[in-house]
Amino acid sequence: MWTYNKVLQYPINIKQPDPKLAKVIISQYGGPDGELGASLRYLSQRFAMPDQNSKAILNDIGTEELAHLEMVGSIVRQLTKNASLEELEAAGLAPYYTDHGVDVYPQSAAGVPFDANCLACKGDPVANLQEDLAAEQKARATYEKLIDLSRDNPDVLDPLRFLREREIVHFQRFGEALRGVQDKIATKHNMYLNNCKKNN
Partner 1 sequence: MLMDDNNCMNNNQSNREEMLHKIKCLKFAITDLALYLDTHPNDEKALCLHNKYCKELRTLTDQYQKMYGPLSIECPCNKWRWLEEPWPWEGGVS
End-to-end CA distance of the chain: 38
Q: Which residue's CB is nearer to partner 1, number 1 or number 186?
A: 1
Are 25 and 93 within 8 A, CB to CB? Answer: no
**How far is residue 20's CA from residue 80's CA, in Å, rounded to a whole number?**
9
Q: Which of 55, 138 has the CB closer to partner 1?
A: 55
Q: In this chain, which of 44, 59, 153, 194 binds partner 1, going by CB under 8 A?
A: 59
153 φ, ψ (degrees, to nearest 5): -130, 90
Contact flag: residue 184 with partner 1 (CB under 8 A): no
* Distance, CA of 59 to CA of 131 (rounded, Å): 16
Minimum distance from residue 60 beta carbon to partner 1 (Å): 6
Neighbour tally for 1: CB within 10 Å? 2
Query: Exactly one of 10, 55, 164, 171 binds partner 1 (CB under 8 A); which one?
Result: 55
| Region at 163 (left for phi over 0; alpha for psi -120 to 50; beta for the rest) | alpha
Specify whether the CB–CB gap between 85 and 183 falls below 8 A.
Answer: no
9 binds partner 1 (CB under 8 A): no
Residue number, 46 or 68, with CB nearest to partner 1? 46
Q: Which of 11, 13, 47, 99 binds partner 1 (CB under 8 A)?
A: 47
Of 49, 45, 54, 44, nearest to 180 (Cα)? 54
Question: Which residue lies nearer to partner 1 by CB, 3 or 117?
Answer: 3
Q: How far is the CB of 100 from partner 1 (least distance, A)?
A: 24
CB of 168 to partner 1, least distance (A): 20
Cβ closest to partner 1, residue 5 vs residue 117: 5
Residues at the interface with partner 1 (CB under 8 A): 1, 3, 46-47, 52-53, 55-56, 59-60
